[in-house]
Structure 1
């Protein structure tokens, strides 16, 4: 890794491809991890949530449990970066998701850039959800979005990782915050839709560039990903719980 690789966002595939039901793994973790050591995404056949932390990829299955991925395992969609914090601060009292986001916002250079987020600490509560493995023929994401399991993790130490993406690129990226959690024991986690932190360290990096790698499999090349309702669908899928 060169210095120019740090804090450059790499994404394999697009949000639009997931919305369209393209869940077949199209890159290996061996390849993906050459582009970053921190990230999020999903797994082949939409088999759970992906957390990449310290260069290791973990699958959070529908039961909420974490498993380490092999180099030969694949993903249809992931975002990664070589993370190096540009700024950070400590939290030493109970802070809600909304309060923490309000504290972060004025420290950034505005909502038109990409940011990586890493929150490490003791959480009073983390609300998570996970998707269940799908079978062919794959249905569009909207048709299976209600078939998710939610979990409430209380008084747990771990790390929330993810990205802030600007609204004007929705369809390629999830607009706003997109966060996943894994605990310190690497046993449980999931997609985060709410949290409260008791104490910990918040680190943010501004991404200096973005790269999108498009799948080359038949499903992606032959699918019609035009979707005039994409904004409403993203909002529906990403809403709390």
Structure 2
């Protein structure tokens, strides 16, 4: 889990947020649904049987990838977009399949406006402060204007698949400057490393829906932050041969995930 450097303004920004009581009462209903494991993806398990249509039965908000590691996906408001290896974005087809995805029915328990320019580490510090405990999950969304967003998107792979660290050796990196868009992400506790990604896992898509990717870094100018605290995790494990034969635990797995996810 990456270390978050907290700026001096975190306390002040956190105090400005609203805690809507009518939503807070429903926070126990929030659940993460996950198909497969991050460790399987790291090991090169890039084929799954779950379709985008199937995923939307488990949530209206999430992220993941497509079979063949064909880019990233970002989902919110029940709409799913494919963020491709050339930095572009397109609407995903309902019959496209995923080897790894994380979804939730997004019910914010905390919301507020970010009116001060903030770097990634500062935003993460605010989210940590608002969630309170490092042992809970959360989903979050930031819709706003960005000074810059740096992303990467994995190129489509062909069989025989290489492990992810080899697949991303020459991954393209894109810089979106002075754009309006949406960050959607999850923050997971350290104890789920390998099951999911410990720490922050975030994707970005521009408001014109023409570009985005897996987020490496950003600077926010202003925007609305919504957070859903989550205390339930449900996982469906694939029944594929590749998953059942994969190496899902090793001493180097944590380092590999940190390198792959940035």
TM over 0.5: yes
Indicate the residue corresponding to 2:37 in structure 1. Answer: 14
Aligned to 2:5: none
1:61 counterpart = 2:81: no
Q: Provide TM-score, normalisation by structure 1.
A: 0.94
**DSSP 3-state at the match of 1:51:** strand
Q: Distance in 1 between matches of 2:169 and 2:184?
A: 24
Following the alignment from structure 1 to structure 2, what is the Cα–Cα distance between the partners of residues 5 and 136? 42
CA distance in 2, matches of 1:64, 1:6: 35
Q: In the alignment, which residue of structure 2 is the partner of 1:123?
A: 146
1:149-208 deviation digits (Å, cap 9, x = unpaired): 100101111100010001111000101000000111111100001111111100111113
Which of 54, 59, 79 pairs up with 1:31? 54
Hey, what does 2:177 align to over in structure 1?
A: 154
- 3-state SS of paired residue (2:172): strand
Instruction: Check whether the contact 2:73–2:83 (CA below 8 A) recurs between aligned residues.
Output: yes
In 2, distance between residues paired with 1:101 and 1:131? 24
| Structure 1 segment 54-93 matched on structure 2, within 5 A | 54-93=77-116
Shift of 1:93: 2.4
Q: Distance in 2 between matches of 1:132 and 1:207?
A: 32
Task: Kindly indicate which of the two structures has a greater share of residues assigned to strand.
Answer: 1
Matched, 1:178 2:201: yes
The list of structure 1 runs, each at least 4 consecutive aligned residues, that deviate by more than 3 angstroms after superposition, is 3-6
1:217-236 C-alpha deviation (Å, 9 max, x unpaired): 12112333232211111122
TM-score by length of 2: 0.87
Residue by residue over 1:109-153, the C-alpha shift from the partner in whole angstroms, topping out at 9 and shown as x without a partner, is: 311110001000011110100000000000111112212110010
1: CA distance, partners of 2:190 / 2:54:
28
Alignment-derived partner of residue 67 in structure 2: 44
Inter-partner Cα distance in structure 1 for 2:54 and 2:127: 32
Unaligned runs of 5+ in 2: 1-25
1:94 Cα shift? 1.3
